[in-house]
Chains A and B, each alone.
Chain A
Amino acid sequence: MSGSAEGMPNPWLPVPYSVQERRSETPDTVTLVLAPGAGPAPLRFGPGQFNMLYLFGIGEVPISICGDPADSQHYVHTIRSAGRISDALCRVAPGATVGVRGPYGTGWPIREAVGHDVVIVAGGLGLPPLRPALLEILRHRDRYGRVEVIYGARSPKDLVYYDQIQAWRSRPDLRFQTTVDTAGHDWHGDVGVVTTRLPDARFEPKDTVAFLCGPEIMMKLTAQALVQRGVDRDAIWVSLERNMKCAIGLCGHCQFGADFVCRNGPVVRYRAVERAFSTREL
């Protein structure tokens, strides 16, 4: 190593953003809209990328970006209260300051999907990381073949983006299936794990690109079902989740086989992780 480190940007420093809006999605999930604290810094991110969100005095966690990639003024994050730090993030009020480092990681290969049918399968909080990809695809809807979305959640009250889903479901150029694992009598939609909706999806297997995000077992089973249907392993993409402290390939926590999920992921080809998915405690 030579020379000095002067002038190097410090990747550990969060940039303060202010919470412009807080929307409640479900009893334990909120969506935060963040705006740059100072100056009109135009934001760029790829669908599927994530930020490290920091709360003063609390700590930092990785959260997917789920806003519209065309919106260069805001970062939108949907956060489930699942621990001390995400709990606190879910409770921040508009006007509060949240530190942001990012965006980090690989994104959904939208360009690779151009000219093909697109199958998007989301489980639980797997929908937010896929939302930017879906928005991008719908913005240039004519570039793609059929677009099929299957979204599964634990129960009807766990469904996020309820209003937007209603709008998506009414579009003639998109099939959006929603299913829940179990439901009460007041639910009129489908019940069953996401893979049960796959046989209903209409797509040409040899000409399909699939984006999957959700619990690992759900992605594994969905990918297996897609492969069985004739979709190429290289055309199936999954988004990984691991413990993460730095997002810059340094803390070592997010290693999944040879991959740093923060750098080589979170979005990877199914073929690259197919074996790792079946290796215990990797």
Chain B
Amino acid sequence: MVELAVGDRRILARSDFPAFLDALNKLGYRVVGPTVRDGAIVYGPIDRVEDLPVGWTERQEAGKYRLERRGDEALFGYAVGPHSWKKYLFPAHERLWTASRKESRFVPAPEPADGPPLAFLGVRACELAAIALQDHVFAKAGDVAYATRRARALRIAVQCGQAGGTCFCVSTGTGPAVGPSHDLALTEILTAERHVFFVEVGSPMGARVLASVPLGPASVEDERTVEQIVARTSASMGRTMVVSGIRDLLVNHPEHPRWELAGQRCLACTNCTMACPTCFCQTTEEVPDLSGERVERWRRWDSCFNSAFSELHGTPIRKSTSSRYRQWMTHKLATWHDQFGSSGCVGCGRCITWCPVGIDITEEAAAIRASPPPQVVEERT
């Protein structure tokens, strides 16, 4: 068998997809990917092809999400669901360390990294971008647990064959074409005659996975088909957002009346921050056992929409919901640039779909752009 190299392209038949899953398992990976649960496509363990959302798609709009049957047997015929890969790389609730009391002293022991490495199956272009953004955030903080999980995880991208109703990755420049940073990138080709996956090797580990999988050659025609699929997805984005100059636009208009309007609708439910694949805010918890001799230190996802989030000496600094909405959106689209050198938004649309009142970040940004109040010129240092 010829060893594959980074950049190589092959065709994987739908009928050989089980062999692909087997290859991952044999290398010790636990495969996680899209699966239908509770009326949505979420991420969970994938043991068999049948665990994937075979023949399902979804309809997404602001505040609306509905599963629908496709007319075919596509494995990845949807856009994105409420989950993102951060639930694996940055678990919603995670033990940081454990300590036992020894006389008057205590000795903290870090949480060991255990469990099999994960293979993320079905990572969208926007999600690769989101993982890269969180990589940067956690690396800057030197977070060992994240880095350990991340270093072991395999990213199997699947390019979107269709855009969701709230998608705008074309605007944010994060999709729908998968960039070079992945282990394997798949594109599902499904016609009346043919159901195959166009596979591109993104890393030596990706090549290793494919070593034992039956593959066929990829033709120029196949490459053209993939390009057409991506072009079709690009052309069907449900949303757009003008991002040029957005950092200054938002930073310079903290008193724009639009914040107040969004604040009147927002329930501060935190859905957007939980669904967002880049939101990283967290809080810590001290969990003593009943004897008081042993404690566990945990972290948990937190949200800038919670009142306690900004609490100082017992009083929240951001009392109003509008100030919290402003904090979230300004951080995501504007101050993230100052902090990490890019936008924190990847255009996945989850915050729009999963907002119970349908607040739409693209609409809010457009409204602020459309009617900026008298310009305040910021002095930057």
Q: In the bound complex, how far is the Cα of B103 from the Cα of A95, in angstroms?
A: 11
Assembled-state Cα–Cα distance A3/B203 (Å)? 13
Given contacts A255-B327, A257-B335, A260-B339, contact A59 B251 (CB under 8 A): no
Whether A282 lies near B254 (C-beta < 8 A) is: yes
Could you tell me if B338 and A258 are in contact, using CB atoms closer than 8 angstroms? yes
Distance in angstroms between the alpha carbons of A188 and B276 in the assembled complex: 59
Which residues does chain B contribute within 8 Å of A249, judged by CB atoms? 137, 140-141, 339
* A242 vs B314: C-alpha distance when bound (angstroms): 12
Complex: A95 Cα to B104 Cα, angstroms? 8
Q: Which of B110, B281, B288, B334 has the most A CB atoms < 10 Å from its CB? A: B281
How distant is the Cα of A256 from the Cα of B254 in the complex, in angstroms? 13
Say yes or no: A37-B148 contact (C-beta < 8 A), given A243-B309, A243-B312, A251-B283. no
CB distance from A213 to the nearest CB of B (A): 15
* B8 located at the interface, meaning its Cβ lies under 8 Å from any Cβ of chain A in the complex: no
Residue A228 CB within 8 A of the other chain = no
Contact residues of B between 88 and 142, Cβ < 8 Å to A: 96-97, 99, 101, 104-108, 110, 113, 135, 137-142
Interface of B is mostly: mixed
Is A110 close to B, CB under 8 A?
no
Q: Are A246 and B108 in contact (CB under 8 A)?
A: no
Q: Given the known A-B contacts A255-B335, A257-B251, are A13 and B110 also in contact in the complex, defined by CB atoms under 8 Å?
A: yes
Q: Is the CB of B302 within 8 A of A248?
A: no
Please measure, in the bound complex, the distance between the C-alpha atom of A37 and the C-alpha atom of B283, giving whole angstroms.
27
Contact of B148 among A4, A13, A269 (CB under 8 A): A4
A9 is contacted by which of B108, B142, B284 (Cβ under 8 Å)? B142
Identify the stretch in B56-64, B191-199, B318-326 within 8 Å (CB) of chain A at 4 or more residues.
Answer: B318-326
Q: A56-B106, A241-B312, A251-B302 are in contact. Are A271 and B280 (CB under 8 A)?
A: no
The interface size of chain B toward A, counting residues with CB under 8 Å, comes to 61
Question: What sequence of 0s and 1s flags, for each residue 34-59 of chain A, a beta carbon within 8 Å of any chain B beta carbon?
Answer: 00010000000000000000001111
Question: CB of A280 within 8 A of chain B?
Answer: yes
Instruction: Write out, one digit per residue, whether chain A residues 104-146 have a CB within 8 A of any chain B CB (1) or not (0).
Output: 0000000000000000000000000000000000000000000
Q: Is A245 an interface residue (CB 8 A)?
A: yes
Interface of A is mostly: loop
State whether the Cβ of B311 lies closer than 8 Å to any Cβ in chain A.
Answer: yes
**Alpha-carbon distance A249/B376, docked complex (angstroms):** 29
The answer to whether B281 and A251 touch across the interface, beta carbons within 8 angstroms, is: yes
Closest chain A residue to B336 by CB distance? Answer: A258
Q: Could you tell me if A281 and B323 are in contact, using CB atoms closer than 8 angstroms?
A: yes
Q: Is the CB of B381 within 8 A of A269?
A: yes
Chain A positions within 8 Å of B, measured between CB atoms, are 1-6, 8-14, 16, 18, 37, 56-60, 82-83, 95-97, 99, 234, 241-243, 245-246, 248-253, 255, 257-258, 260, 269, 271-272, 275, 279-282
**In the complex, the 3 A-B pairs of residues with the closest C-beta atoms, listed nearest first:** A252-B281, A281-B323, A258-B338
Query: Chain B residues in contact with chain A, CB under 8 A?
Result: 96-97, 99, 101, 104-108, 110, 113, 135, 137-145, 147-148, 150-151, 251, 254-255, 280-284, 286, 288, 292, 295, 297, 302, 304, 309-314, 317-320, 323, 327, 331, 334-335, 338-339, 376, 378-379, 381
* Cross-chain pairs A/B with CB under 8 angstroms, 11 sampled: A1-B139, A5-B113, A56-B99, A97-B104, A243-B310, A246-B282, A250-B141, A255-B327, A260-B339, A269-B381, A272-B381
